[in-house]
Structure 1
Amino acid sequence: MGSGKTTVGRALAKKLNKRFIDSDHEIEARTGVSIPVIFEIEGEASFRQREADVIRDLTSQENIVLATGGGAVLNAESRKLLHERGTVIYLRAGIHSILQRTRHDKNRPLLRTADPRKKLEELEAQRAPLYQEVAHVTIETGRPNVQFLVQSVLDKLAQENLYHVPDALLTANKTAMSATSPPSTIGTILNVDLGERSYPIAIGTALLSDSDFLSSRIKGKKTVVVTNTVVAPLYLGALEAALRSAGKEVVSVVLPDGEEQKNWTSLMLIFDALLAHKCDRQTTLLALGGGVIGDMTGFAASAYMRGVPFVQIPTTLLSQVDSSVGGKTGINHPLGKNMIGAFYQPQAVIADISSLQTLPDAELSAGLAEVIKHGAIIDAAFFDWIEANMSALRAKDPKALTHAILRSCEIKADVVRQDEREGGLRAILNFGHTFGHAIESGLGYGKWLHGEAVGCGMVMAADLSCRLGYIDYVSKTRIKQVVEAAGLPTVAPDLGEERWLELMEVDKKNEGGKIKFILLRPLGQAVITTVPQEMLLATLRSCIAN
């Protein structure tokens, strides 16, 4: 309920020149009374039987778009008829979003309770597996407008060969696209459910040159693109042209490349451009690049005029699977990485997989570190998949990359939904980072890529987990082997034990002067804990270069 089935269904029917029917409205038309009255007089069981009868009748008809009630899947026969007679589209929405949409709706009898959120959680637990069972296509609704959702449905139906959609209705055939640009494909829309701060993650190909798509995601007349000297020659021109084709005014800021440039001086260059071009609160900042650009642009957006909109357009694997999602922004300080910043959510994330084809092998490997991390801390089955598909990932196979990005974003979005400001759970996303940040700070920013440091840090964290008895030797070895297979270092630099401890003490997770680590207990689950110093020193002595 509240996912937009009726609104999207009606718009979809109009696009496809079909008749639209809402099963709830059909029940009301047949009985002459409203759904709440049926519930009140006859009870839910009687209503469900009426609903099943209507669905049996309607699924025998041709050339219609049918919006069912949210509970229609509870009837086994209805599920069978829907799946066999039609193409089922599951519009998935987060509980917070549903509450926002339905809070003033008096025609939802199941939500007439003292605790609607608890009721929705119960319904989701009961119904979600049935939705997945019956659906041919799943679309994350989030907050995109109806037109965008309908377009996502059409593109997905065509992509999966589930329905013949006329070429004129597909995003990939819009006449506004450049004749020299490859057609864009929106593979997935995933929602980060944060209430009023919710936003979509669009994953697809050739999105940066699609003016219609960009216009649907980027609000405001004036845009400021922040990028760097490596990305600008590759993608800035196409993005600027597409934005101008969409009627946007474009200002571009090209910063020096590198982790060592993630500092106050670079941040001032962004502010200089914003002020010089008289940018106001309606200006949208676009972060075109990797994690460094994303973090700095987001921080600039959070501070300029006390907050302006920004959109993440990550062009590296690391930023597509991790840093662009979740709203952590900031710059480095000589005494600590990411110690100056803010939590500030983007309006959208646009992950164009096409940009990964120009990514150097070392940068791709750095991104794979964060993919491995997501499997290690939350999803053991995903970790198994990563092990089995590492060759395809390193070969930049689009299908493998799409799955890795989607699952990583799903995992991170769910963690961020539960703990937006890293009050507890979200800290598990820092698996390998306590050691990794020490490597980056100790060697000097830019000596190792962030993902390289995290990869090595995960090997060290796995070693520490094993010493504490949290994981077995086989799991520790698997982690080291998959990090190595990703092309990442597994031996840490010798910074000296005192220096290692000093660097790890400067960490945002620490409390009361005690170093906190994210460890595995077992593989696929994470814990946040302190450790005996002798265990930590044993790991350092085992993992550093001799």
Structure 2
Amino acid sequence: MGAGKTTIGRILARKLGMRFVDSDHEIEARTGASIPWIFEIEGEESFRRRESEVIRELCAEGGIVLATGGGAVLSAENRALLKSCGTVVYLRANVNSIMVRTAHDKNRPLLQTADPRRKLEELTAQREPLYREIAELVIDTGRPNVQSMVQTILDQLEALEATRRARCTPATSSMTQHSTISLTVDLGERSYPIAIGPGLLSDPAPLAQHIKGRQVAIVTNTTVGPLYLERVAAPLRAAGREVIEIVLPDGEQYKTMETLMQVFDALLANKCDRKTTLVALGGGVIGDLTGFAAASYMRGVPFVQVPTTLLAQVDSSVGGKTGINHPLGKNMIGAFYQPRAVLADTATLATLPARELAAGLAEVIKHGAIIDAAFFDWIEQNIGKLVARDQAALAHAIARSCEIKADVVRQDEREGGLRAILNFGHTFGHAIENGLGYGVWLHGEAVGCGMVMAADLSRRMGYIDDAAVRRVRALVAAAGLPTVAPDLGAERWLELMEVDKKNEGGDIKFILLKPLGSPSIGGAPRALLLETLAACVVAP
């Protein structure tokens, strides 16, 4: 309820040339009574019977856009009918948004309680799995631009239809059994969509719609290229585009100026112009490096993120941070430059090494620890499923992580303040990466250990208790990440942490927990920092 089904449904029907029907309005027209009156006089059970009857009749028709009541999915019969008779679109809204939209609406009987927020939380917990069970598209309604949401639905419907037309094997047809989740990073004119779901690389439509010029340069690496490069390139060539393949060496140690120049060399050699679109096909290193190349080549060309690792799908592909490493500091050279779209094919996670999967889980845990305690709880309860690559669990973790990051980026695109909270664990983590040499530890491994260290420092600062530190350490360990840091020597630790983008006036800034689920940005007394280093490191 309150997700905007009626408003969006009417516009969508007009765009599709269909008739719009709201099942609640249909029930009121047939009975001559309002929904609250039916609830009060006949009870919810009677209303649900009327609702099922109306949905059954409407599903037998064609050419309509049907907006159902939020509780229609409680009936297994309704779910089966909706799924079999059309394309189900789930308009998702968080509790805060629904509270704002329904605050003065007396026409919602289920919210006429002493604590409507608690009721909404209960309804969400009950209904969310059922929405996901039948939805082919999941659209986030957190942004205010209704026309943009409608266009996103139209684009996704077109992509779904293209997939259905192209189906020719059981493997392809199984893709439609899972929903594609659609989000938006709301940055005004620079807003862009995020699509999350299995099989996106097997469908050329989602990528093709974001490529306007004749030339496409796909940047990938020696690990990802053999797996997915031809799958992405072939449909583009078949559509008449000139595809330039740029295959770089794999590894954090290659995120350098020399590797960046290889991209520029290929673009110049192929006479690429300002309409050339760069496609970043790979993990975080490829995404950061390709984005920086796109920001710099001819002072800016479009690019699309196609992340193939969990870390890139939940974090680095979203938000427009691009760059390369310098021997004295990680990501110290770069630019804020937003992609045209992010296409996260969750099927690529099946080929991801266990170590890379664990590295991605570090960023998932980070999002819960800094801003969403309930999400942190959920990760604790589902870490076994995530490690086992359960598709539903991974899809939820990716979507929620992207939602959190997109909301932070919307408020602070260029890290003037709030966005720094996304660096929880990174001050310690970057020091580990640089101190050991880039590539010895994966970025996510260093961040995971860094979060344990940041939690320890938070406790020493009096922000959280021992139990919270134990929870962070246990969850990081359960994800398969290291919880003990290498002993670089106290002075070397301090030297490395002093080279950090968050620092001001030479003071080391940390993202700390105050409490778990809420971040605090600030410095720490040297004595407490040294205590954390002594407690969290082990001799090599």
Which residue identity is paired with 2:242?
Answer: E
What's 1:189 paired with?
Answer: 182
Change (3 A) 1:144 1:276: farther
Alignment partner of 1:361 is 2:354: yes
Q: Note closer, same or farther for the CA distance 1:279–1:512 as it changes in structure 2 (3 Å cut).
A: same
Aligned to 1:351: 344
Distance of 2:175 and 2:388 partners within structure 1: 22
Aligned to 1:458: 451
* Aligned partner (choices 149, 153, 168) of residue 149 of structure 1: 153
- CA deviations over 1:341-382 (Å, ceiling 9, x no partner): 011110100000111111111111110100111111111111
Q: Report the counterpart of residue 112 of structure 2 in structure 1.
A: none
Hey, what's the Cα distance between the residues in 2 that align with 1:330 and 1:10? 44
- Structure 1 gap ranges (5+): 27-48, 50-55, 95-118, 156-168
Match of residue 409 from structure 1: 402
Find the counterpart in structure 1 of residue 272 from structure 2. 279
Match of 1:427 among 396, 413, 420: 420
**Where do 5+ consecutive residues of structure 2 fail to align?**
27-36, 38-49, 83-87, 106-115
How do residues 67-106 of structure 1 correspond to structure 2 at under 5 angstroms? 91=91
Note the C-alpha offset of 1:415.
0.9
Alignment of 1:495-510 (within 5 A): 495-510=488-503
1:338 matched residue in structure 2 = 331
The equivalent of 1:7 in structure 2 is: 11
| CA deviations over 1:171-220 (Å, ceiling 9, x no partner) | 54222778975654452011111111111110011111212232234333
> Which residue number corresponds to residue 449 of structure 1?
442
Q: Is the 2:183–2:193 contact (alpha carbons within 8 Å) kept by the matching residues of 1? A: yes
Counterpart of 2:286 in structure 1: which amino acid? I
Match of 1:52 in 2: none
Determine if contact 1:459/1:479 at 8 Å carries over to the other structure: yes
Q: Deviations over 1:207-262 (max 9, x none)?
A: 11212232234333321100001110111111111322344321110001110100
Match of 1:545?
Answer: 538
Deviations 1:111-134 (A, max 9, x none): xxxxxxxx9996587689889979
The change in CA–CA distance for 1:81 and 1:378 in structure 2 (over 3 A counts) is closer
Map of 1:377 onto structure 2: 370
1:293-332 alignment to 2 at 5 Å?
Answer: 293-332=286-325
Letter in 2 for 1:513: G
Cα deviation code 1:319-360 (max 9, x no counterpart)? 000000000000000000000001111010000011111111
Q: Which residue of 2 aligns with 1:139?
A: 139
**C-alpha separation between the residues in 2 aligned to 1:503 and 1:397?**
38
Paired residue secondary structure (2:439): coil
Report if aligned partners of 2:359, 2:444 keep a CA contact under 8 Å in 1.
yes
CA–CA distance in structure 2, aligned partners of residues 244 and 151 of structure 1: 22
| Paired residue secondary structure (1:7) | helix
Kindly provide the amino acid, as one letter, of the partner of residue 503 in structure 2.
Answer: N
Once residues 364 and 497 of structure 1 are traced to their aligned partners in structure 2, the CA distance between those partners, rounded to angstroms, is 31
State the alpha-carbon separation in 2 of the partners of residues 406 and 440 from structure 1: 28
For 1:65, the equivalent position in structure 2 comes to 64
1:393 equivalenced with 2:386 (yes/no): yes
**Mapping for residues 114-129 of structure 1, pairs under 5 Å:** 123=101
Answer yes or no: is 1:206 the counterpart of 2:199. yes
Equivalent in the alignment of 1:418: 411
Tell me the distance in 1 between the aligned counterparts of 2:363 and 2:70.
Answer: 38
Q: Output the amino acid matched with 1:521.
A: K
For 2:517, what is the secondary structure of its paired residue?
A: coil
The aligned residue for residue 42 of structure 1 is none
Change in 2 beyond 3 A, CA 1:121/1:418 = farther
Do 2:164 and 2:173's aligned partners in 1 also have CA atoms closer than 8 Å? no
Spell out the pairing of 1:208-223 with structure 2 (5 A cutoff): 208-223=201-216
* Matched residue, 1:224: 217
TM-score of the superposed pair, with normalisation by structure 1: 0.77
Does structure 1 residue 476 correspond to structure 2 residue 469? yes
Deviations 1:3-53 (A, max 9, x none): 754332234564xxxx34699xx9xxxxxxxxxxxxxxxxxxxxxx9xxxx
Distance in 1, Cα, partners of 2:211 & 2:92? 23
**Offset at residue 466 of structure 1 (A):** 0.8
**1:272-314: per-residue Cα shift (whole Å, max 9, x none)?**
1111111111111000000000000000101111111100000
Number of residue pairs matched?
470
Match for 1:483: what amino acid?
Answer: V
Of 158, 161, 174, 2:165 maps to 174
Q: In 2, distance between residues paired with 1:396 and 1:286? A: 26
In 2: Cα distance, 1:194 partner to 1:384 partner: 30
Q: CA, structure 1 residues 271+125, in 2 after alignment: closer, same or farther (shift >3 Å)? A: farther
Give the direction of change, closer, same or farther, for the CA distance of 1:177–1:527 in structure 2 (3 Å limit). farther
1:269 to 258, 262, 266: 262
1:111 alignment counterpart: none
Distance, in Å, in 2 between the alignment partners of 1:145 and 1:247 is 30
Classify 1:283/1:139 alpha carbon distance in 2 versus 1 (closer, same or farther; 3 Å).
Answer: same
Alignment CA distance shift 1:278-1:427 (3 Å): same
Q: Does 1:526 align with 2:530?
A: no
- Name the amino acid aligned to 1:208: L
CA gap of 1:147–1:519, structure 2 versus 1, over 3 A, is: closer
CA distance in 2: counterparts of 1:279 and 1:183, whole angstroms:
38
Higher mean displacement: 472-481 or 204-213: 204-213
Alignment partner of 1:440: what SS? helix
**Pair 199,504 (structure 1): closer, same or farther in 2 beyond 3 Å:** same
Q: Secondary structure at the match of 1:341?
A: strand
Identity of aligned residues (%): 61
Secondary structure of 1:174 counterpart: helix
Counterpart of 2:196, as a letter, is I
Deviates more, 1:247-256 or 1:351-360: 247-256
Note if contact 1:227-1:253 (Cα within 8 Å) is conserved in structure 2: yes
Rounded to whole Å, the distance in 1 between the matches of 2:173 and 2:17 is 29
- Alpha-carbon RMSD across the aligned residues, in angstroms, is 3.6
Give the corresponding residue for 2:40: none
In the alignment, is the contact (CA less than 8 A) between 2:457 and 2:512 conserved in 1? yes
Structure 1 83/447 Cα, relative in aligned 2: closer, same or farther at 3 Å?
closer
Partner of 2:44: none
2:64 aligned partner, one-letter code: V
8 Å contact kept, 1:182–1:206: no
Alpha-carbon distance in structure 1 between the residues aligned to 2:368 and 2:210:
30
SS across alignment from 2:193: strand
8 Å contact from structure 1 (residues 428, 526) kept in 2: yes
Q: Is the 8 A contact 1:5 1:91 kept in 2?
A: no
CA contact (8 A) 1:208 1:242 kept: no
Shift of 1:315: 0.4
- Distance across 2 between alignment mates of 1:306 and 1:13: 42
- Structure 1 contact 212–246 (Cα < 8 Å) conserved: no
- Name the structure 2 match of 1:494: 487
Distance in 2, Cα, partners of 1:384 & 1:121: 23
